[in-house]
Amino acid sequence: MEDVLNVSSKQAAAAPPADKDCPYTIELVTPEDADAVIAMLKKFFFKDEPLNTFLDLGECKELEKFSLKPIKDNCSYKAVNKNGEIIGVFLNGLMRRPAPSDVPEKAGDSCEHPKFKKILTLFDHLDTQFSIFDLYPNENLILDGKILSVDTNYRGLGIAGRLTQRAYEYMQENKINVYHVLCSSHFSARVMEKLGFHEVFNMKFSDYKPNGQVVFKPDLPHVAMRTMIKELQSPTKL
């Protein structure tokens, strides 16, 4: 899981320009894009994400590796300008229903970076508090939005909306009904709402006290981890 975004809610809601006038194309992210994707995230995403900022995370190879992990699922998309430069990405992964005998893997256990370990341990805790598959008992495969980021020099061009629309098309092509996004940022949650997502789970940072003390105190207005959902069909919910 990873937080989404550095696009404004106004940008997210903007209607995509007509193809003939569009100064960019939407394409699949491939492993060959890894260096360019990380370069963009370093410039426009990592430094602004509330948990990273609070911890003063700095350079973190573990974060970079974690961010690139979903590319192998072939459902991440990039916006590319006329010069071949990546100006936006939506990194997505696939969530598969675990078998009853599966032992949940704890991402924090194997992380050697002390600050990033705190973030992964928070994610591990969230997994014990809420499961999207419990909410959707008939769904075995769910699209998981990891990171949505747009070059701030290309605002107002509908990039976030078109990246998300391409993900919807992937869902339709693969008969996936539910799109899941975890947000640590108040602003990212607002953007997802503009894109048609709604909240199904919320955990305040002030309530996360693994050792009796609050671990994360990001600046306002970031007060909670929020799980956002978009349903393309009408799946059965509990």
Instruction: List pLDDT tens digits, range 121-176.
Output: 999 999 999 999 999 999 999 999 999 999 999 988 999 999 999 999 999 999 99
What end-to-end distance do the CA atoms of the chain give, in Å? 23
Q: Which two tokens stand for residue 116?
A: 């990033």
Answer for the pair 64, 37: CB distance below 8 angstroms, yes or no.
no
Which domains are seen in the chain, by residue range?
Answer: 24-231 (3.40.630.30)
Residue 104 binned pLDDT confidence (cut-offs 50, 70, 90)? confident
Q: What is the CA radius of gyration of the chain?
A: 17
Residue 20 binned pLDDT confidence (cut-offs 50, 70, 90)? low
Largest CA distance in the chain: 57
Give residue for tokens 């339709």.
Answer: 172
Q: Which two tokens stand for residue 101?
A: 């005998």
Instruction: List pLDDT tens digits, range 70-91.
Output: 999 999 999 999 999 999 999 9
C-alpha dist (Å) from residue 34 to 37, 64, 90, 95? 5, 9, 13, 21
Q: Which two tokens stand for residue 39?
A: 């370069």
Q: Quote the pLDDT of residue 75.
A: 98
